[in-house]
């Protein structure tokens, strides 16, 4: 078993402590079987088992048990791959058990996975018995597994950093509703990546619950899991973002619940009595942005993503609509806000004060000082 001090030091090197603590709390609040499914192909087992084995040791030390799926891309000699992974893990006192899915994922398969996780061992699920199935059939098996376990995330390990052109940074987020046709038909991706993207689309269409999919190198897997910014390519089915004039047709109770989840505090009772210009709300009330016109410029008075959905790309979708509609605006955040590093990347400038950080983008110089004073003088909305 890996020493707790080693695990802690490594996590501190992965990302900000606030990020790591947030995701650990979220992961531990879920059912153990829902944590993650990690798909590793033959090349990962052959050439990148060392970093992948390290990832699994860290996760095991944290009490997080993923399902490791072997053979999705091609199911020949998968039992031998599973045995190799198991030997590496057991040598380091990490419990792991090889399971066979058969030609389909049956109720017996699901029960075996659940039992293995409940006993604290990592299930190494081999698809060798489905080696003669078409690739779409194995994707359907993965969809069944994800559905029955209520998996919150599926991770495809990649020899590259994520999806994207060779020798270029990976695409951070792919929204299938917006980006799919251009990526599949535009020659941006390699043939292998295009095939994977098609499979992910099939997967997300077959799984009824909300689930994120990521493509990442094993060296960056923990950064992908434990930081808001991630490390590889996050692939989402995409959300509908509704735009409302002011508070018109807004379910105020659901919006209150969203802000409570995101900030851990409740809104003051009269919050909705203050007029606003526009609200952006994800269709399931998983994220929102609220814009107010002020004498000194456009003020983003609230921007939030429901805690369980943070890191899934919803905030980025809302943000892209905000900056499209409002090229210039300002906002504030508490110094301890865990997404401040992301805000810093989005802003043109910021000013730090003991109680607030004030950010702006696209604003003329003469408006910046009045905007800062306005933001600092605003009452606190959260109790």
Q: What is the pLDDT of residues 143-166, one digit of tens each?
A: 999 999 999 899 999 988 899 888
How far apart CA 349 and CA 368 sit, in angstroms, is: 9
Kindly tell me if the per-residue pLDDT of 22 is higher than 80. Answer: no
| CA dist 174 → 169, 284, 317 (Å) | 14, 20, 10
CB 258 within 8 A of CB 287: yes
Q: Which range (16-30, 76-90, 95-109, 263-277) has the least confidence?
A: 16-30
CA-based nearest residue to 162, from 124, 137, 212, 196 = 196
Confidence at residue 103, expressed as pLDDT on a 0 to 100 scale: 84
Which of the four pLDDT bands, split at 50, 70 and 90, describes residue 244? very high
Q: Give 181's contacts (C-beta < 8 A, 6+ positions apart).
A: none
How far apart CA 343 and CA 45 sit, in angstroms, is: 38
Which of the four pLDDT bands, split at 50, 70 and 90, describes residue 248? confident
Confidence at residue 310, expressed as pLDDT on a 0 to 100 scale: 64
CB 41 within 8 A of CB 73: yes
Task: Give the H/E segment covering residue 212.
Answer: strand 212-216
Confidence at residue 148, expressed as pLDDT on a 0 to 100 scale: 97
| CA dist 270 → 10, 254, 291, 300, 383 (Å) | 45, 16, 17, 18, 12
| CA dist 211 → 172, 200, 207, 275 (Å) | 17, 11, 8, 35
- 206-218 average pLDDT score: 91
Kindly tell me if the per-residue pLDDT of 238 is higher than 80. Answer: no
Output DSSP code: residue 382: B
3-state class (DSSP) for residue 174: strand
Task: Give the H/E segment covering residue 124.
Answer: strand 122-126
How far apart CA 142 and CA 39 sit, in angstroms, is: 9
- 229-248 average pLDDT score: 86
Cα 355 to chain centroid distance, Å, stands at: 29
pLDDT one-digit tens code per residue, 265-310: 899 999 999 999 999 999 889 999 999 999 999 999 999 988 766 6
Q: What is the pTM of this model?
A: 0.77
CA-based nearest residue to 287, from 264, 254, 248 = 254
- 185-194 average pLDDT score: 87
Kindly tell me if the per-residue pLDDT of 100 is higher than 70. Answer: yes
Whole-number percent of the chain with pLDDT over 70:
97
Confidence at residue 178, expressed as pLDDT on a 0 to 100 scale: 79
3 vs 380, which has greater pLDDT? 380
Kindly tell me if the per-residue pLDDT of 1 is higher than 80. Answer: no
- Quote the mean pLDDT of the chain: 90
Kindly tell me if the per-residue pLDDT of 313 is higher than 80. Answer: no
Phi-psi region of 238 (alpha: psi -120 to 50; beta: other; left: phi over 0): left
Kindly tell me if the per-residue pLDDT of 74 is higher than 70. Answer: yes
Confidence at residue 312, expressed as pLDDT on a 0 to 100 scale: 67
Confidence at residue 25, expressed as pLDDT on a 0 to 100 scale: 81
Kindly tell me if the per-residue pLDDT of 219 is higher than 80. Answer: yes
Examine domains 4-236 and 241-377 and report if their fold is the same: no
- 349-358 average pLDDT score: 97
Paired sense of beta strands 241-245 and 233-236, if any: unpaired
Confidence at residue 342, expressed as pLDDT on a 0 to 100 scale: 84
120 vs 309, which has greater pLDDT? 120
Confidence at residue 308, expressed as pLDDT on a 0 to 100 scale: 64
With both helix axes pointing from N to C terminus, report the angle between 191-206 and 176-185 in degrees, rounded to the nearest 10: 150
Task: Give the H/E segment covering residue 228.
Answer: none
How far apart CA 55 and CA 317 sit, in angstroms, is: 30
Which position has the token pair 């993650």?
36
How far apart CA 204 and CA 237 sit, in angstroms, is: 7
Confidence at residue 176, expressed as pLDDT on a 0 to 100 scale: 87
CA-based nearest residue to 145, from 84, 206, 215 = 206
How far apart CA 89 and CA 249 sit, in angstroms, is: 54
17 vs 121, which has greater pLDDT? 121
CB 35 within 8 A of CB 27: yes
How far apart CA 169 and CA 184 sit, in angstroms, is: 18
| CA dist 372 → 21, 295, 300, 329 (Å) | 31, 12, 13, 11
Confidence at residue 3, expressed as pLDDT on a 0 to 100 scale: 66
177-190: burial string, b at 16+ Cβ within 10 Å, e else? eebbeebbeeebbe
CA-based nearest residue to 270, from 247, 289, 248 = 247
Q: Kindly list the domain boundaries of the chain, sorted by start residue.
A: 4-236, 241-377
Q: Which range (2-11, 150-159, 233-242, 281-290) has the least confidence?
A: 2-11
- φ, ψ for residue 316 (rounded to 5)? -65, -35
- 6-31 average pLDDT score: 77
Which of the four pLDDT bands, split at 50, 70 and 90, describes residue 2? low
Confidence at residue 366, expressed as pLDDT on a 0 to 100 scale: 96
Fold of 4-236: Carbamate kinase (3.40.1160)
Which of the four pLDDT bands, split at 50, 70 and 90, describes residue 75? low
Q: What would the CATH number be for the domain defined by 241-377?
A: 3.40.630.30
Kindly tell me if the per-residue pLDDT of 255 is higher than 70. Answer: yes
């Amino acid at each position: 078993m890996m020493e707790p001090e080693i695990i802690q030091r490594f996590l501190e090197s992965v990302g900000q402590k606030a990020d790591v603590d947030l995701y650990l709390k979220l992961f531990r609040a879920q059912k153990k079987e829902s944590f993650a499914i990690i798909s590793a192909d033959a090349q990962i087992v052959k050439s990148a088992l060392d970093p992948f084995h390290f990832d699994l040791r860290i996760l095991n030390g944290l009490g997080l048990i993923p399902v490791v799926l072997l053979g999705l891309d091609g199911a020949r000699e998968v039992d031998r791959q599973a045995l190799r992974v198991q030997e590496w893990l057991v040598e380091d006192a990490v419990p792991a058990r090889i399971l066979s899915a058969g030609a389909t994922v049956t109720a017996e398969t699901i029960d075996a996975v659940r039992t293995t996780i409940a006993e604290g061992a990592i299930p190494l699920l081999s698809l060798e018995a489905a080696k003669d199935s078409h690739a779409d059939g194995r994707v359907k098996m993965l969809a069944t597994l994800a559905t029955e376990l209520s998996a919150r995330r599926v991770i495809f390990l990649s020899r590259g950093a994520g999806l994207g052109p060779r020798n270029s940074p990976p695409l951070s987020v792919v929204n299938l509703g917006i980006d799919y046709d251009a990526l599949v038909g535009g020659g941006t991706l390699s043939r292998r990546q295009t095939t994977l993207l098609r499979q992910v689309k099939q997967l997300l269409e077959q799984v009824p619950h909300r689930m994120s999919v990521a493509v990442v190198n094993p060296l960056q897997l923990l950064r992908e899991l434990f930081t808001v910014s991630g490390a590889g390519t996050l692939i989402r089915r995409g959300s509908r973002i509704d735009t409302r004039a002011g508070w018109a047709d807004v379910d105020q109770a659901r919006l209150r619940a969203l802000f409570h989840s995101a900030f851990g505090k409740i809104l003051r009772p009269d919050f909705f009595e203050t007029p606003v210009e526009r609200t952006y709300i994800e269709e399931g009330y998983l994220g929102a942005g609220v814009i107010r016109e002020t004498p000194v410029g456009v003020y983003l008075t609230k921007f939030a993503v429901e805690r369980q959905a943070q890191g899934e790309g919803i905030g980025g979708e809302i943000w892209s609509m905000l900056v499209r509609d409002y090229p210039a605006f300002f906002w504030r955040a508490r110094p301890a806000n865990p997404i401040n590093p992301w805000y810093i990347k989005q802003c043109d400038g910021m000013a730090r004060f003991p109680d607030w950080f004030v950010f702006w983008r696209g604003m003329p110089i003469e408006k910046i000082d009045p905007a800062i004073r306005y933001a600092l003088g605003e009452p606190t909305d959260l109790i």
